[in-house]
Structures are given as structure tokens and as C-alpha cells.
């Protein structure tokens, strides 16, 4: 498990209050982890701060799953 994935998982668990083992690569924030649209905005904000990156709005919309987030952040770093 990569460091990025661990850090992203920690943010997701803390923010959405879900069990760690539910945060798998294919887990959709909205459909599987109970996030609403505002939660997804806040998650992106948290990712930006944790990793010191900028995630533009059009890119943020493509981040639907935990795997999407990890992949995007790794590429952005």
C-alpha cells in the first residue's frame, strides 16, 4: 500500500466517518461511502491541502472513487 493511498484513506475515513475497510479502490464516494456533493468538494479541498496541489474544478469532477483520487494525486505530485 502506497503512502499516498494511506493518506487519502485517512482523510476519507475522517471526513465521511466510514470504516477503513470500506475504502477500497473502486469505492465511489457518493454511491458507496455515503458522501453528498458538498462532501466531495470538501474532500477535494482536503486533498489539496494534504498534498499541496491544486485540483481544478473540471478535474475534481472526474474524481469519483477512492482509486480515482489516489491516481490523480500521484500524477499531480
Partner 1 sequence: MFDLTGKNALVTGASGGIGGEIARTLHAAGATVGLSGTREAPLEALAADLGERAHVLPCNLSDAAAVDALPKQAAETMGSVDILVNNAGITRDQLFMRMSDDEWADVINVNLTSTMRLCKGVIRGMMKARWGRIVNISSIVGATGNAGQANYAASKAGMVGMSKSIAAEVASRGITVNCVAPGFIATAMTDKLTDDQKAKIDQQIPAGRMGTPEEIAAAALYLASEQAGYVTGTTLHVNGGMAML
Q: Which residues are catalytic?
A: 36
- Using CB under 8 A as the binding rule, whether residue 56 contacts partner 1 is answered as no
The smaller minimum CB distance to partner 1, of residues 1 and 38, is found at 38
Q: Work out how close the CB of 5 gets to partner 1 at its nearest, in angstroms, rounded to a whole number.
A: 23
Provide DSSP, 3-60: HHHHHHHHHHHHHHT--GGG--TT-BTTTTT---HHHHHHHHHHHHHHHT----HHHH
Among 38, 57, 58, 77, binds partner 1 (CB under 8 A): 38
Rounded to the nearest angstrom, the gap between the alpha carbon of residue 75 and the centroid of all alpha carbons in its chain is: 14
Q: Work out how close the CB of 37 gets to partner 1 at its nearest, in angstroms, rounded to a whole number.
A: 9
Amino acid at each position: 500500500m502506497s503512502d499516498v493511498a494511506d493518506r487519502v484513506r485517512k482523510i476519507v475515513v475522517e471526513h465521511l466517518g466510514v470504516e477503513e475497510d470500506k475504502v477500497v479502490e473502486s469505492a465511489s464516494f457518493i454511491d458507496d461511502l455515503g458522501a453528498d456533493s458538498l462532501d466531495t468538494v470538501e474532500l477535494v479541498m482536503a486533498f489539496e491541502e494534504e498534498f499541496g496541489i491544486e485540483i481544478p474544478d473540471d478535474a475534481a469532477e472526474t474524481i469519483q472513487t477512492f482509486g480515482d483520487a489516489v491516481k490523480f494525486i500521484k500524477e499531480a505530485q
